[in-house]
Structure 1
Amino acid sequence: MIHPATRVLVADLRKHVGETVSVSGWVNTLRLQRKMQFVLVRDHTGMTQVTHKRGESDLLERQLEDLTLETAVRITGRVLDNPVVNLGGLEIVPTSVEVLNRAHAPLPIDEHTGSEHRLDWRFLDVRKRPAAQLLFAVQTTVEQAMREFAYREGCTEMHTPKLMGTASESGAEVFKLGYFDRNAYLAQSPQFYKQMAIAAGIDRVFEVGPVFRAEPSFTSRHATEFTGLDVELAWIDGVQDVMDFEEHMLVHALATVKNLHGDAIREHFGVEVTVPALPFPRITMVRAQQILRARGWDPQGVKEDLDPEGERCLAAHVKEEAGHEFVFVTEYPASIRPFYHMRPADRPHLTSSFDLLWKGLEITTGAQREHRHDVLLEQAAEKGVGTESLRDYLNCFRYGCPPHGGLGMGVGRVLMVMLGLDSIREATFLFRGPNRLTP
């Protein structure tokens, strides 16, 4: 890792005992006593103590006295062993203090600030909390590990448009915006574009990118903009090939996170990263509803799908019976799935689709897609979906598109479950929801 030649990270100070170094970071704590001045300085790798005895340097004494919390500083001084110091048994005796950017006082947030107000000052919220910074290190590892797995499995990474000339097949849940002399829409999924890539002869496709959903939802698991990981696989024998791919990808990602961050996650979030056994349990929707009703699940107005309570209850059942945190729910009714989901020939009222639940939260939806042009037209007509606006999409299936299927996963939800967070707002750097477009 390349850093300015004069800078030493806090995590590396042990290597420089007895040497004079420069540490750059933020003022975390000020303890300005009658005889001694103690300043705790924090960078992204940890915290160290700066110790100055009053009377030894009037200039340093004034500079330290004038510091404010969260001021950006560069401290140059000698690194000394001091077993009394809790922070690694080290301290820095300063020879110079450089204020790089003085922070205004008082700070707009502290440890008692409510979550909504902390979102207004998210840069300070993340900077001041090691757990929040760890979250983004974990996010990086999750995405990198999933990319590694996808590359290993022969996938090509694609970047699909986020501006669409027409709305989705239903026209619902999309954001409309002006585009020169006409309207455009933000993509609520790269679904159709992934399928176009399959039709273009790119056997296996994946993308990590933004997804936009104009849902007026105010739950702990919904956002109007989030990062999605999408995969599409050609020449599959059935939807089970897609589920096999996903469960192996998740096992690889979780094993990587556990190896790199397991101890830190345990320390900061109090949870253990568990690498799940293969294969994941798979339960049909019919069987899931039988299990849930036997356990007393009685949804209000939900007959063909699972509500959040049903998802949590099913996850609890699987944990009790199989000792597993994941479960694929399969064979969703055609009535609640999109027209492009394939339907088994012998059970046309069902779809070859699935949701993946992790600890009771849906993190993925996937399916085998219908790749036959005539069947797509029939299923679109059955659902009352107009096909004129979908002409470019439907043309992909007129000239030899192979059998294929795929999945869409919310990265924020994966982090939310993995780290035991209460809300997806905490798993997002700058959250976007119906009432939040800032900062």
Structure 2
Amino acid sequence: MIKNLQEHPDGPVTVSGWVETVRDQKRVQFIVLRDESGAAQLVNSAVRELDPEAPVENGEARLAVTEAISELSHGSFITVTGELIHNERVKLGGLEVKIEALSVITHANPETPIADDSGLDKRLDWRFLDLRRPEQQLIFRIQTTMLHAFRTVWIDKGFIEIQTPKLMASASESRAELFELEYFEGKAYLAQSPQFFKQMAQAAGFGGVFEVGPAFRADHSFTSRHATEFTSVDMEMSWIDSHLDVADVHEELLVTALTAVKEKHGEDIERLFGITVEVPSRPFPRIPLAEAKDIVKRRGYEVPRDDADMDPEGERQISAYVKEELGHDFVFLTDYDKSIRPFYHMRNPENPELTNSYDLIYNGVEISTGAQREHRVEVLIEQAKEKGMVPEELDFYLDFFRYGVPSHGGFGMGLARVLMLLLQQSSIREVTYLFRGPTRLQP
């Protein structure tokens, strides 16, 4: 691997990778070669015609290498054997490889379909080429590190990883924004979230569970933070006293993950994105939604009165306030009105109009919703009726609570949103391996 050349002594080496650039000068040729670990400079003292003083085989071989380099196109994949030389005058890593033999594994078409200034949609059309950029590869290394850190926290706490089905016989939470599909003689739906099955694990006595998996929303939004298929990071845990117990674990997960990202990738993020990773302090600020709206109003913006939620501009304003006053990038907004929460969110015992729930805002954008769940079946039935739902259609779910279930709660979090905000990207399309939206099903 190219990253290992720094520690390799001068001498023979073999490297493979994609041709990034070729500089074909009169007496010397340079290639910048890139693999998934980095880039290196290769050099060939060009032979433009056979040297009568040299052995025929050697002269012919050198001429063949020179001609092959002249014909290389950007993106061709080659293998080179040569002499590694550490040379501090070389700007690219302080080393170069003097080419002795070159083999073209695959030629790339000389006309590349995307360029540095291509728009996002064009780049997504040719995603496999766009992903070759070092910035893009770093995004998914960061994602890997983040998910590993999450799992480490959960596993250390004794949580169990589950994989819930994505084919549902009925709506997972509501009948809105569902993808319906034919299923043999009947119909099925793609799951919006693993919510019901996470809660089933609580009734099964699993205690704490987590899942990282796909979720589907038939949402016609074309915003920078919505997708029809996305990766959801979900957790559910038993033996809680309130939604704030869930928030405690939530912030532990994020602090652990951002610490790992900073330690492993901080320098690369600084170099490629110009961003210094900030590891947040604990505890994260927690502000009741009504108070947050008052703060936003004092800042000169009023959330529309008919909106019981916090709208996007309100999220940006409360984040700006928290950053200015508390120096924090995260804030939990708590105590949401029952009208905008699902039937299974537990009501606040002191004010039944509110729920034991929160939204987590990161750098001005909501990334997660968490809550304590209602575990009393008779209360669940009444709350479902309030929402206009038919309890009989929820029997498979309500059965979980008819045979004993502990108090519990959890959250669901959009992975791409976290990455987008961490790296200050303009859209989740930039940080999703293959994006799916209302008008995109390929590649």
TM-score bracket for this pair, using the shorter chain length: over 0.9
Cα contact 1:354–1:366 (8 A) shared by 2: yes
1:135, distance to aligned residue in structure 2 (A): 0.3
Does residue 96 of the first structure (1) align with residue 101 of the second (2)? yes
Cα contact 2:373–2:409 (8 A) shared by 1: yes
Q: Which amino acid aligns with 1:171?
A: R
Does residue 333 of the first structure (1) align with residue 337 of the second (2)? yes
Counterpart residue number, 1:30: 22
Counterpart residue number, 1:41: 33
Does residue 235 of the first structure (1) align with residue 239 of the second (2)? yes
- After superposition, residues 6-405 of structure 1 pair within 5 angstroms as 9-55=1-47, 57-127=62-132, 129-300=133-304, 302-405=306-409
Report the secondary structure of 1:350's partner residue. strand
Cα contact 2:169–2:189 (8 A) shared by 1: yes
Cα contact 2:21–2:32 (8 A) shared by 1: yes
Report the secondary structure of 1:402's partner residue. coil
Q: What CA distance in whole angstroms lies between the structure 2 residues aligned with 1:164 and 1:393?
A: 12
Q: What CA distance in whole angstroms lies between the structure 2 residues aligned with 1:270 and 1:411?
A: 22
Cα contact 1:169–1:390 (8 A) shared by 2: no
Cα contact 2:172–2:196 (8 A) shared by 1: no
1:388, distance to aligned residue in structure 2 (A): 2.5
Cα contact 2:131–2:137 (8 A) shared by 1: yes
Report the TM-score, using the length of structure 2 for normalisation: 0.95
1:61, distance to aligned residue in structure 2 (A): 1.0
1:311, distance to aligned residue in structure 2 (A): 0.2
**RMSD across aligned C-alpha pairs, in angstroms?**
1.1
Q: What CA distance in whole angstroms lies between the structure 2 residues aligned with 1:158 and 1:268?
A: 35
Counterpart residue number, 1:422: 426
Where structure 1 has 5 or more consecutive residues not aligned to the other structure, the ranges are 1-8
Cα contact 2:218–2:228 (8 A) shared by 1: yes
Q: What CA distance in whole angstroms lies between the structure 2 residues aligned with 1:113 and 1:283?
A: 42
Report the TM-score, using the length of structure 1 for normalisation: 0.96
Counterpart residue number, 1:6: none
Between the two proteins, the alignment pairs up a number of residues equal to 430
Cα contact 1:366–1:408 (8 A) shared by 2: yes
Cα contact 2:335–2:358 (8 A) shared by 1: yes
1:209, distance to aligned residue in structure 2 (A): 0.5
Where structure 2 has 5 or more consecutive residues not aligned to the other structure, the ranges are 48-58
Q: What CA distance in whole angstroms lies between the structure 2 residues aligned with 1:382 and 1:154?
A: 37
Q: Which amino acid aligns with 2:281?
A: A
Cα contact 1:25–1:41 (8 A) shared by 2: yes
Larger mean CA deviation between 344-353 and 183-192 belongs to 344-353
Cα contact 1:239–1:367 (8 A) shared by 2: yes
Q: 1:83-112 deviations in whole A, cap 9, x for unaligned?
A: 332112211111211111110111111112
